[in-house]
Amino acid sequence: MANSKTQDSNRLWKIDTSGVISTTPVWIKKIILYPNAAGDSVLFKTWDENSSAKSTKYLQTTTTTANPYIQSTGNFTTTLVAAGDVIKVDYSSTTNNMYTYSVASRDSDNQITVDGYPAITAEASKTYSWRVWTPTEFAYLIADGTEKKAFELDWTASPKNVPNMFVDTLTASAVVYVYLY
């Protein structure tokens, strides 16, 4: 599922699906979850591109389909790419998918499902290089289990800086607002 982020202004993002939100640093003042039902939740994660990549592959023959699949024979073993890992395409022989970021779901050792940012385009048997990072959680909001009311994390006094971010999970029909500093 592709990410749906709308910018109501330069300082407010409305998010209604999972996926990569930003690949550049952001300062966050507040996150508000507007649930559709009691118990709705959202989980935000980030990754550190300055750390060593979990795995790196250079010049692999790869086939992509328009979101959501990347196939590369034997290159997506669970030790190299796990569900929830972030994949960055550093090189593509046609440049179509170069510098895309994706969050992986597990399918098999030859194919993974991704949520690309920007969206992955279809290419057959092209040469790719990519790096993989395991992300860390930085915010989790869950609505009260007995009633449907907004829940927020407020960092207004000391804004939270994250190098990048993605929504790992968001309950269907819930909406999140991210207020930037």
How many other CB atoms sit within 10 Å of the CB of residue 7?
Answer: 10
Which domains are present in the chain?
Answer: 5-47+136-180 (2.60.120), 55-133 (2.40.30)
pLDDT confidence of residue 177:
94
pLDDT confidence of residue 140:
94
Distance CA 22, CA 24 (A): 6
pLDDT confidence of residue 112:
79
> Residue 125, class by beta-carbon neighbours within 10 Å (0-12 exposed, 13-18 middle, 19+ buried)?
exposed
pLDDT tens by residue, the chain, 181 residues = 344 555 656 789 999 888 888 999 999 999 999 998 888 999 999 999 888 888 888 878 887 876 667 777 767 777 788 888 898 888 888 878 888 888 887 767 677 777 777 778 888 888 888 889 999 999 999 988 777 788 899 999 999 999 999 998 899 889 999 999 8
What are the two backbone dihedrals, phi and then psi, of residue 43, each rounded to the nearest 5 degrees?
-125, 120
Distance CA 170, CA 4 (A): 12
pLDDT confidence of residue 4:
52
CA distance readout (Å), 45 to 60, 84, 148, 179: 28, 9, 24, 16
pLDDT confidence of residue 1:
34
Q: Are 87 and 57 in contact (CB under 8 A)?
A: no
pLDDT confidence of residue 96:
81
Buried b (16+ CB within 10 A) or exposed e, 143-162: beeeeeeebebebeeeeeeb
Q: Which two tokens stand for residue 71?
A: 């196939």
Distance CA 158, CA 155 (A): 5
